[in-house]
Amino acid sequence: MAQLPQKTSAQQQDKLNKLVADLYLGTSKIELAEYRDWALAQLQNLIAFDGAIWSNGHQQTVRFHNHTLVNVPESLTQCLLDSLSINPLADKLFDNLGLPIDMRDLMSDEAFYGSEVYLTCFKPYGIERILSSVHLDERTGLFTLLTLYRFERDKPFSEQDKYSQKQALYHLLTAAKHALFLQLEFADNNQTTTHKNSHKAICDNQGYFHQVQTSFIDLLEQFYPNDKLLKLPFSLEMTTKSYQVDGLQVELRPFNDLIIVEIWPQGPLDSLSLREQEIVQTLAQGLTFKEAARELGLSPSTVSNHLYRIYQKLNIGSKGELFKLL
């Protein structure tokens, strides 16, 4: 396999630097539903391509979670899955993680254009040139596949294109993850009961990760040092939504057809009810009983009664002691 160039032109490096900067700046400006399409459009300023597939999946389930497509139909993704046994790229990509592979690295043009995989999977879609790479997060089993296509046979991908894709792939997937969790954080800021030091993952109902914050895995490794964390090490109790397991506080909420899993180390305030936590958070803002009662739609005496029970649960005797637990 050809080696990637060690250096790139100053102009190409400037384009790469601009792409990286734009990807991260765009996380707070581009709507989440449009972000991946927008990011691929930015990538076209660095590498010329006619079509693309950007897919995410999990190594354990051996399937894709989602696709972002550019100028190719959804039916191509199923065709690719159906032709894995005859596609020489399939195994090579996972043997060369992070390295872009051109189909020309594996087969001569003469062999490729006469092959079954070309005739059944690529020719029907007008695909003539293929450049593909895979990134695998070995801590979670999550992988990202980025494949670029050209529809003209006389425009093969260059070694410079391979180098540019190698540099860009990590930033594409990292920025996309940042955009997702940034939106979730923004939504959480409107909820006074959200725990300030929580860590999030998005999972299916079997506990396999679809997206996950690095800090989420860091925390799991502290509590489950002997487990290989390719999925959640605890069960999802959807009937309770909020529960404690092995010293962790867990909260669940739906996210489309998936589940947002939020965790943090269990603390004394986690023994309080939702209403009691709301009262603590409201009083912590410096409000009086009357102001807190008005904020929560309660009477001042109800707030006072709740606070008394909070003191009993936590074995404390003043708001000063309570606020030290926050």
Residue 299 banded pLDDT, cuts 50, 70, 90: confident
Structural domains of the chain, ranges and CATH numbers in brackets: 10-185 (3.30.450.80), 191-266 (3.40.1840), 270-324 (1.10.10.10)
3-state secondary structure the chain: CCCCCCCCCHHHHHHHHHHHHHHHHHHHCCCHHHHHHHHHHHHCCCCCCCEEEEEEEECCCCEEEEEEEECCCCHHHHHHHHCHHHCCHHHHHHHCCCCCEEHHHHCCHHHHHCCHHHHHHHHHHCCCEEEEEEEEECCCCEEEEEEEEECCCCCCCCHHHHHHHHHHHHHHHHHHHHHHHHHHHHHHCCCCCCCCCCEEEEECCCCEEEEECHHHHHHHHHHCCCCCCCECCCCCCCCCCEEEECCEEEEEEEECCEEEEEEEECCHHHHCCHHHHHHHHHHCCCCCHHHHHHHHCCCHHHHHHHHHHHHHHHCCCCHHHHHHCC
Structure tokens at 151: 């529809």
Q: Residues 310-320: pLDDT tens digits?
A: 888 777 777 77
- What mean pLDDT comes out for the span 168-196? 80
Q: What is the pLDDT of residue 42?
A: 97
Q: What is the pLDDT of residue 131?
A: 98
Q: Residues 50-59: pLDDT tens digits?
A: 999 999 999 8
Q: What is the pLDDT of residue 7?
A: 56
Q: Mean pLDDT over all residues of the chain?
A: 89
Q: Residues 139-181: pLDDT tens digits?
A: 999 999 999 999 999 999 999 999 999 999 999 999 999 999 9
Q: Residues 92-139: pLDDT tens digits?
A: 998 999 999 999 999 999 999 999 999 999 999 999 999 999 999 999
